Structure 1
């Protein structure tokens, strides 16, 4: 750590965007993407870990600083038997454009010993510093996007010039809920996950409730969304329901209705977009559960269910898309601000041919860009459900 910085700025909620709740720890502040009440009802370590990974969370401030240091304590996830991932990336944006990147080595390491139960062991480690130097001189708007796949405790912000709170954003707030793809799986860095790219294209403030493995129509997530201020809301439903084999069609339909009913209790007329899963060939017509396959040393996923059991209510992506379209059509008669988007319009057969899914489930960086481009066009573009209304 350097010692020539004259300003240490307390990290407070006023400097953060995209966060739902802040927990005070012995070291600093831990951003959360679910409310305290919701966190108390989480039934598994998978979601507890995912919601504490700050996908879409960023520090936002104005400064003339040319050197910025952010002390953090990361908690990194490693799967036993798999190569450890690279350190998470911190993106620094200046006036909305990516200007620098950094990582923090060390930190805690949580090793997942069972991918199905998410059983894990934690080894504690030291805090570290994300350092950005040689930044352009002059007054500028700075955003530091936190690593989307590392739990990140915020400890200290140091600069070589004063930091000022940015004025409150006048942009609309987009609240999005989805699975690991919305969380950012396989995206190269945090401002390049598809919801972040789509938010930038749409000129909105993102609150990302994309939770790896955990878009399961949980009532506590719906209640959290009900209570979070938002101008635009989307829910991406399907892939986790299928790949976890969480429910049958009989339970799925009322669960969707209940999820939407709860959101509408707090947002009765907010534009609400229901999005089905992107194309995922292994789960289109084969039920879950999904299983990892390390054949050849490369991680891939395969569906293990029996397609013959579809007639008994086992779910596939094809069945879920059909059901979601029916649900939205039924409800839209009394809810003109409810809309449906087929996920294959975001990433379909032609996209799969151009940008195949490396592990058969999650898109790579190019896939995230394609999804973002299509979402921006279909949702924020002219005639889209999130288009800016003109008077």
Structure 2
């Protein structure tokens, strides 16, 4: 087998805003490196380092290829480690999946996280056929990843993908958009939509960390995107990080930052999907056994300005309408209940996150509802 240098220009990385490459190492982040100096919580960097929506792309006639990989996966104490799965597409069609087991694991416990060291391993993709084909390898949405080697047969052709021309869609959101519950990285709901619509996706779904941070707004502002969507509210309300007084102002400010350099780019604001625990009562949410969630008892929370999801949706819808009336014709609102509502709660086993079926359904519904910005 022949080693491909991991900084070979023919190896194209999609869906990452930062890439560290050398001939023998490749690591990606979904936020620029400079954001780490402004991050208020190490979990932001952990989630940005996970490769949800990140793809390795190339053209080859190789019948097989191999990766040397060291992953850092996630496990909630008392439950199995989240599967670390790759989805391999050939010429736009899912060909096979592969799973890693040997790498590092971060175990989340009530007393705090614990790091369990693992080791690098190989993952093999075989039976691909000897014809020329476009390879798009979706990297795991549930883990950080360092690629340490890429190997193809000695005589195989290896070149860059003809990828230019796809609409560049950036999506910012919570764990709902990060999609750890999906069956694979290509079946998170943004990935389902992006594949169907032929978009070049950058997924900034950051589990637990969608709090309208200014550094995320600036990263989106400075990106070269054709369309930007924001799934906002569930982390803010679920963690009680903002009250009524500041929530609308923070969202206005986030949108203002985007508009500084992207005055005409279509922006879609999506309000929270259904969550039975905080629909009509304020957060925060707490993990009751690490596997499921419960609402904290806060009898005076609403009087203090704490928000329920119903109130959050109303604030977001009103804010978008005000900005539209002020002349922003490229700003659109989508009620999150249209993607996942009370009728779907059977596919929300932990009371907060849609399961794999729920993720796929959300993507299908997003396609059906339609956003003209992604249809041009």
TM > 0.5: yes
Partner of 1:178: 173
Partner of 2:30: 33
Per the alignment, in what secondary structure is the counterpart of residue 260 of structure 1? helix
**Following the alignment from structure 1 to structure 2, what is the Cα–Cα distance between the partners of residues 76 and 185?**
11
Structure 1: unaligned runs, 5 residues or longer: none
Partner of 1:329: 321
Partner of 1:121: 114
**Following the alignment from structure 1 to structure 2, what is the Cα–Cα distance between the partners of residues 280 and 68?**
42
Partner of 1:351: 344
Once the two structures are TM-superposed, the CA of residue 228 in structure 1 deviates from its matched residue by 1.2
Partner of 2:284: 289
Preserved CA contact (<8 Å) 1:242 1:287 = yes
Q: 1:9 to 1:222 in 2, by over 3 A?
A: same
Partner of 2:370: 379
Preserved CA contact (<8 Å) 1:187 1:368 = yes
Is structure 2 residue 47 aligned with structure 1 residue 56?
Answer: no
Once the two structures are TM-superposed, the CA of residue 92 in structure 1 deviates from its matched residue by 0.6
Is structure 2 residue 53 aligned with structure 1 residue 65?
Answer: no
Is structure 2 residue 208 aligned with structure 1 residue 220?
Answer: no
Q: 1:31 to 1:165 in 2, by over 3 A?
A: same
Deviations 1:26-67 (A, max 9, x none): 961210011122121111122111000010001011111111
In the TM superposition, 1:210-289 aligns within 5 A as: 210-289=205-284
**Following the alignment from structure 1 to structure 2, what is the Cα–Cα distance between the partners of residues 149 and 228?**
24
Q: 1:191 to 1:362 in 2, by over 3 A?
A: same
Once the two structures are TM-superposed, the CA of residue 114 in structure 1 deviates from its matched residue by 4.1
Q: 1:307 to 1:386 in 2, by over 3 A?
A: farther
Q: 1:34 to 1:313 in 2, by over 3 A?
A: same
Q: 1:145 to 1:27 in 2, by over 3 A?
A: same
Per the alignment, in what secondary structure is the counterpart of residue 283 of structure 1? coil
**Following the alignment from structure 1 to structure 2, what is the Cα–Cα distance between the partners of residues 33 and 159?**
27
Once the two structures are TM-superposed, the CA of residue 91 in structure 1 deviates from its matched residue by 0.8
Partner of 1:112: 108
**TM-score (norm: length of structure 2):** 0.94
**TM-score (norm: length of structure 1):** 0.90
Preserved CA contact (<8 Å) 1:61 1:143 = yes
Preserved CA contact (<8 Å) 2:237 2:284 = yes
Preserved CA contact (<8 Å) 1:173 1:232 = yes
Structure 2: unaligned runs, 5 residues or longer: none
**Following the alignment from structure 1 to structure 2, what is the Cα–Cα distance between the partners of residues 35 and 303?**
34
**Which one of the candidate residues 298, 305, 316 is aligned to 1:313?**
305
**Following the alignment from structure 2 to structure 1, what is the Cα–Cα distance between the partners of residues 368 and 250?**
29
Per the alignment, in what secondary structure is the counterpart of residue 136 of structure 1? coil
Partner of 2:159: 164
Per the alignment, in what secondary structure is the counterpart of residue 282 of structure 1? coil
Once the two structures are TM-superposed, the CA of residue 307 in structure 1 deviates from its matched residue by 5.7
Q: 1:222 to 1:46 in 2, by over 3 A?
A: same
